[in-house]
Amino acid sequence: MSQFTEAQREEIIAILGKHSPQNIAIFDGINEKKLNNAISTYGETIPSDEEIFLQYDGTAWGSAKDGFLMTNLGIYSKNLWESTKSATYQNIHTLNLKKTNLEVSVKVSENFNITLVHTPKNIYAFLQELLPLAQTGFKTISQQSKTNPSAQIDNRCNGCGAPTHSHQAFCEYCGNPLN
């Protein structure tokens, strides 16, 4: 049984469709062989009560032995020649893009980063939009508005001044943490 409601699935699919990142598969579109490769390489520690809903294949030949998996509770990652790293969404502080080599750095704490290498900019934009949703426990915008009527009120990022919404955890333009 899925841990995601139909509304949550639709919102994640809409976010994916908006950014069209390559090498990402979600929900029923995840290839079983690639998923098994990822789990055996870097997803063995994923608890059985977590649902894997997204897989990014970071390999050149499509084996998915490097990349990242996202579950309803966290992200699990492995890059070539590196050990497995993971973090819960609640522990993620910032998301940054290193434009020189297309690395996305997920800052978990001062001494702990998850680096996603060879990720196109559209994956960064996708994660910028998805991570705040993940940090709310995948409450859809409409669910947030019901429990928090101010969820739609516009704010400004302290880092770059871009418009933001109160449901966002990160600025979608500069990656600055909000609130």
Specify the pLDDT at position 149: 46
The torsion angle over the Cα atoms of residues 25, 172, 138 and 65, rounded to 10 degrees, is 30
Considering the chain, what is the average pLDDT of its residues? 79
For residue 169, CA distances in Å to 127, 165, 175 come to 11, 9, 9
Q: pTM surpassing 0.85? A: no
Q: Which residues pair with 170 in a beta bridge?
A: 177
Which residues, including other chains, have CB under 8 Å from residue 5's CB and lie 6 or more apart?
140
CA distances from 18 to 15, 45, 48, 150 (A): 5, 31, 30, 25
Other residues' Cβ atoms within 10 Å of the Cβ of residue 102: 15
- Indicate if the pLDDT at residue 46 is higher than 90: yes
- Give the per-residue pLDDT at 151: 44
Q: If you average pLDDT over residues 126-152, what whole number do you get? A: 67
